[in-house]
Structure 1
Amino acid sequence: MRLTVRTAVPGFTTARPPPPRPEGMDMPIDAARAVAAEPRTAELAWDHKDVLLYHLGVGAGRPATDAEELRYTLESRLQVLPSFSTVAGGAMALAGGLAAPGIEVDLATVLHGGQRIELHRPIPVTGRATAIGRVEAVHDKGKAAVIVLRSDVHDDEGPLWSASTRIFVRGEGGFGGERGPSDRLEAPEREPDRTVERATREDQALLYRLCGDWNPLHADPEFAELAGFDRPILHGLCSYGIVLKAVVDAALGGDATRVRAYSTRFAGILFPGETMRIRMWNEGEGRIQVLATSVERDHAPVLADTLIEHT
């Protein structure tokens, strides 16, 4: 198996069309082989400094002395946002997850399509755990493939969280596989129960990338221009964390341990310095549906099909 990488950075997002495939070249994805491959195991470790940095990366600490913010920024009061699971111990290395038997893709054609986490219990402030990852499914969307990566994480006390990452690979469909399910959620036709706005800093991406995603798309203007953007964009998983924090603070009494699951589709981009408008609908039975958009760009979608399940 060969993994063709045109950038050494995981999760590369680009607006360019995929390169043409030479005539007669076999499709690079063998779905049956990928799904049947042996799971990969990785050891994860983190402490309060990693948690604090992540929280700052998703906008915590404003105002710095606010008691409600100190639960994210002061080690003596610290709770852990469940979305920290996407970076804990380097868990965001998508390139490693894509380097499975049966998969040969160019990371320049890869988009992070969606993310879901399920919490089995609250994430501890300091931890050591084992992640077991595998390719759960490969869907054929015709002009693209969707690779679903599954990761189950446990420590000495038992299961901690499970994560499902959907990777959209442009130009790699047509291999004869199943299309897979649709996860689209129609926005409720009533006014949201809550609406909040969260401004991001101009240096938000520079701070968040210290959590482990070094993709120059989020820092280097020249690289961003090559990818089709007029300036660097914010990490999708940073927007993911900002939205979860907003929902925890506005709808769950600031208690991050109430979150049981969180799923989203990355529907668009956010530029650092822009403001997200986050609309929330209480759907009953411990479900909050969310839509996040960019205020400055006429409410262009950022996160869609977003659902938070809670106690």
Structure 2
Amino acid sequence: MISYEQLRARAFAPVEHRYSVNDTILYALGLGLGADPLDPAHLRATYERDPGFCALPAMVNVLGYPGFWAMEPDTGLTWQKILHGEQSFTLHAPLPAEGTVVGHTKITEIIDKGAEKGALIYSEREIVDKASGQTLATVASTSFARGDGGFGGPAGPVKPVHQLPDRAPDLTYDHRTQPGQALIYRLSGDLNPLHADPEVARGAGFDRPILHGLSTLGVASWSITAALADGDASALKHLQLRFSAPVYPGETIRTEIWRDGEEVSFRARVTERDVVVLNNGLARLG
């Protein structure tokens, strides 16, 4: 069982992460970019000699990551029942195409939804440039620990979700994922066999390996800048969303977009199954 005080105060060692231009390109390929090698917007993320080459903002999600720490026995968590519920990131400065960063992770709150209802674990990670000491980004996650409610912790407050406008989307953007996309994306750091091993996937209730949720997030972030910023990925400064369903590699992700000034609301659905896979999305461009 969770010890609220112990888990809330859990100390995470800083994670130093050196990444190269090749890693930056590999991340973009793990979102399915490069499928059209003649698309100038794809080349800006996948070809280092392109004049506009840059790291995709969503790459901060894989930098300075402390690993799947919930598996460690001192957490008291039933790690097999943990789901990734929400994710957000905010860029405070442009992400360099290569460099060394340090990730500083902390748990900001644990919400007890009650016995048989699970718990919410809110965590935050600051990504700091090692050379300058500048904070490049803040990444936040919500984990849903389905098997760990009823430990006597606080029942709230629960973070509110962004509400989508009550009208048809202003525009949509389709991005077809690649059949081998999960096998590429996992090389950016998430080696969970659920995304590669058919037997493991079937044991988890899927008929084949599923795409990483953070790859789906990356696709949506890319789609927003492709639709609204002429493919200039660096225009994205903030993004938040809730994961609602998995994607199978090879499916088409349609990002539905509403724009109200600088505020961009969005959700994403798989067109082949008409299933919403990302919901309650909010992005800001700058």
- Relative to the length of structure 1, the TM-score reads 0.85
Give the structure 2 partner of residue 252 of structure 1. 229
Q: Are residue 106 (structure 1) and residue 83 (structure 2) matched?
A: no
Q: Distance in 2 between matches of 1:231 and 1:33?
A: 38
Aligned to 1:29, the other structure's residue is in SS state coil
Aligned to 1:137: 109
SS at match of 1:34: helix
Aligned-residue offset at 1:145: 0.8
2:30 equivalent to 1:53:
no
Shift of 1:208: 1.1
Q: Distance in 1 between matches of 2:49 and 2:63?
A: 20
Match of 1:168 in 2: 144
Cα distance in structure 2, aligned partners of 1:256 and 1:199: 18
Q: State the aligned residue count.
A: 279
Alignment of 1:1-311 (within 5 A): 28-77=1-50, 78-88=53-63, 91=65, 93-96=66-69, 99=72, 103-142=75-114, 143-155=117-129, 156-157=131-132, 158-176=134-152, 177-284=154-261, 286-297=262-273, 299-311=274-286
Segments of 5+ residues of structure 2 without an aligned counterpart are none
Over aligned residues, Cα RMSD in angstroms?
Answer: 1.7
Corresponding letter in the other structure for 1:206? L
Q: Is the 8 A contact 1:37 1:100 kept in 2?
A: no
Separation of aligned partners in 2, 1:153 and 1:184 = 24
Q: Do 1:97 and 1:149's aligned partners in 2 also have CA atoms closer than 8 Å?
A: no
Whole-Å separation in 2 of the counterparts to 1:247 and 1:46? 25
SS in structure 2 opposite 1:40? coil
Q: Does the CA contact (< 8 Å) of 2:106 and 2:124 recur in 1?
A: yes
Of 185-194 and 55-64, more deviation after overlay is shown by: 185-194
User: Are 2:195 and 2:212, in contact at CA under 8 Å, matched by a contact in 1?
Assistant: yes
CA contact (8 A) 1:31 1:137 kept: no
Identify the range of structure 1 (184-193 vs 260-269) with the bigger mean alpha-carbon deviation.
Answer: 184-193
In structure 1, runs of 5+ residues without a counterpart are 1-27
Q: Tell me, what secondary structure is at the counterpart of 1:151?
A: strand
SS of the equivalent of 1:253 reads: coil
Amino acid at match of 2:172: T
Question: Given residue 303 of structure 1, which amino acid in structure 2 is its aligned partner?
Answer: L
The Cα offsets for residues 219-243 of structure 1, whole Å up to 9 and x where unpaired, read as 1111111101111111100100011
Aligned residues with identical type, % of pairs = 35
